[in-house]
Amino acid sequence: MSGLLALLDDVAAIAKVAAASVDDVAGMAAKAGSKAAGVVIDDAAVTPNYVHGFDAKRELPIIWKITKGSLFNKLVVLLPLALLANAFAPWIITPLLMLGGAYLCFEGAEKVFHKLFPHGDAEVEADLDVKDPAHLEEERVRGAIKTDFILSAEIMTIILSQIPEGALWMQAAALALAGVAITAVVYGAVALIVKMDDIGLFLTRTARTGFGRAFGRGLVRGMPKLMTFLSTVGTAAMLWVGGSIILHGMEVLGWPVLYDAIHHVAEAAAHGVPEKFSGAMSWAVTALLDGIFGLVLGALLIPVATRVVGPFLALFSGGSKPAAH
């Protein structure tokens, strides 16, 4: 009997440790995932463009295909690569983060450039000339998954950089949990966004009250404005996050001048407002200056990416350079 009680005590102790470990994993995943918020916002803002122009019945199936591709990117490809890099070449994490940050700066700056100087895109025009809807859908899905891979690589690297060292299984579990949660949030939001106008149209036809029908009309009319807003937020997030990653990476690698300068400016701005607003002011000034830096860097990268990197990659892909999303 005493042996059974001892065994039960051991089982209870193991259960407590396991429960604490689960809590630790969830806590690490939540904390680490929040650090990737800027890239997540960009991902959610970008993806609806890939279902634009398709029949309403195909929107959710397309999003589901992209979601499965995103999970494959994160869990099957990027998670083991991230853990291997962290275990055997941790020095490479910061350069990889900076490379991804530079890409985000380039993408954000190119969006601003397109907005200020509108011009046609040969690849978009060619895309619109495709007569087979099924073929076009597959092309769009592949393009979305490729874009997701880049953003997911940045998200997973950011998450890994925020997870404290510990047991490999806990790092893997926290990384996987954060990756799945972010994917669910992003593509759940995307599904809701792309179906919002359909929900509004349904309400205008079936709502029994004037308020319900008016609300439905408001959804239909408001969706274009929401998409424009999301596009703007996504661009700002790319520039802010990309610039922040580059500046922090420079500081880690021993070039802290710009990072420290922005920090001092943010501190000075925080001291100029009431104490209860100082934290928000410091964050806002830091984000603004990080974004300006990201915009300048991205603008410098546009000719490099479009005239050097793009054609070079096209030599190996057998096609034209990938278009920015």
R_g over Cα of the chain: 23
Question: Mind listing the pLDDT tens digit of every residue in the chain (325 residues)?
Answer: 444 334 334 333 333 333 333 344 444 444 444 445 555 655 565 666 666 666 667 788 888 888 999 899 889 988 898 888 888 888 888 888 888 889 889 988 998 998 888 765 544 445 445 556 777 778 878 877 877 787 788 778 777 777 766 667 777 888 888 888 888 888 888 888 888 888 888 888 888 888 888 888 888 888 878 777 877 877 888 888 889 889 999 998 999 999 999 999 999 999 988 888 888 899 899 999 999 999 999 999 999 888 887 777 667 655 444 444 4
Which tokens hold the place of 259? Answer: 């990072």
Closest CA to 147 of 97, 73, 80: 73
For residue 140, what are the CA distances in angstroms to 52, 129, 144, 165, 191?
Answer: 10, 13, 6, 39, 16
Half-sphere exposure (Cβ direction) of 121: Cα atoms closer than 13 Å: 18
pLDDT of residue 257: 94
Give the ranges where the chain is alpha helix by DSSP (H).
2-35, 37-46, 56-71, 79-88, 93-116, 122-128, 133-162, 168-206, 210-252, 257-271, 275-304, 310-317
Closest CA to 140 of 40, 53, 232, 238: 53
Q: Which residue shows structure tokens 């057998």?
A: 318
d(CA 203, CA 183): 29
pLDDT of residue 311: 75
The one-letter amino acid at 135: H
CA angle 279, 29, 277 (to 5 degrees): 10
Half-sphere exposure (Cβ direction) of 126: Cα atoms closer than 13 Å: 7
For residue 46, what are the CA distances in angstroms to 6, 194, 203, 258?
Answer: 57, 12, 27, 30
d(CA 226, CA 63): 19
Question: What is the DSSP track for 189-201?
Answer: HHHHHHHHHHHHH
Which tokens hold the place of 41? Answer: 């916002």
Q: Is 318 left (phi over 0), alpha (psi -120 to 50) or beta?
A: left
